[in-house]
Amino acid sequence: MTTLLTPPTSAESLLPSTMPLQLIDPDGQAGRSQGELALPEPGILLELHRRMVLGRRFDRQATMLTRQGRLAVYPSSRGQDGCQVGAVLALREQDWLFPTYRDTVAVVTRGVDAAEALSLLRGDWHCGYDPYQYRVAPQCTPLATNTLHAVGLAHAARLKQQDQVALVLLGDGATSEGDTHEALNFAAVWQAPVVFLVQNNGYAISVPLAKQTAAPTLAAKGVGYGIPSMLIDGNDAAAVYSAVRSCVDRAAAGQGPALIEALTYRMEAHTNADDAGRYRADGEVQAWLARDPIARLEAYLRSAGLLDERAARQVAAEADRLAERVRDRMNREVRTDPGDLFAHVYTRPTAALEQQRDALLSELGESAP
In the complex, least distance from residue 329 CB atom to another protein, rounded to whole angstroms = 18
| Residue 257 or 293 having the CB closest to another protein | 257
In the complex, least distance from residue 156 CB atom to another protein, rounded to whole angstroms = 4
Give residues in contact with another protein (CB under 8 A): 1, 125-127, 130-132, 137-138, 142, 145, 147-157, 159-160, 164, 166, 178-179, 182-183, 185-186, 189, 340, 343-347, 350-352
| Residue 151 or 195 having the CB closest to another protein | 151
Q: C-alpha 222: how far from its chain's center? A: 20
In the complex, least distance from residue 161 CB atom to another protein, rounded to whole angstroms = 10
| Residue 37 or 157 having the CB closest to another protein | 157
Burial class (CB in 10 A: 0-12, 13-18, 19+), 115: middle
| Residue 114 or 157 having the CB closest to another protein | 157
Ordered strands of the 258-263 beta sheet: 96-98, 166-171, 194-200, 258-263, 229-233
Phi, psi of 103 (to 5 degrees): -110, 35
| Residue 277 or 338 having the CB closest to another protein | 338
In the complex, least distance from residue 167 CB atom to another protein, rounded to whole angstroms = 13
In the complex, least distance from residue 160 CB atom to another protein, rounded to whole angstroms = 7
In the complex, least distance from residue 327 CB atom to another protein, rounded to whole angstroms = 25
In the complex, least distance from residue 2 CB atom to another protein, rounded to whole angstroms = 10
Long-range contacts of 205-210 (CB under 8 A, 24+ apart): 205/173, 205/270, 205/274, 206/270, 206/274, 206/276, 206/278, 206/279, 207/173, 208/279, 208/280, 209/172
| Residue 155 or 270 having the CB closest to another protein | 155
| Residue 156 or 253 having the CB closest to another protein | 156
Phi, psi of 228 (to 5 degrees): -65, 140
E strand or H helix at 132: helix 131-134
Handedness of CA 42, 108, 54, 203 (dihedral sign): negative
E strand or H helix at 189: helix 178-190
Which residues, including other chains, have CB under 8 Å from residue 117's CB and lie 6 or more apart? 104, 107, 108, 128, 129
Provide the residue count of the chain.
Answer: 369
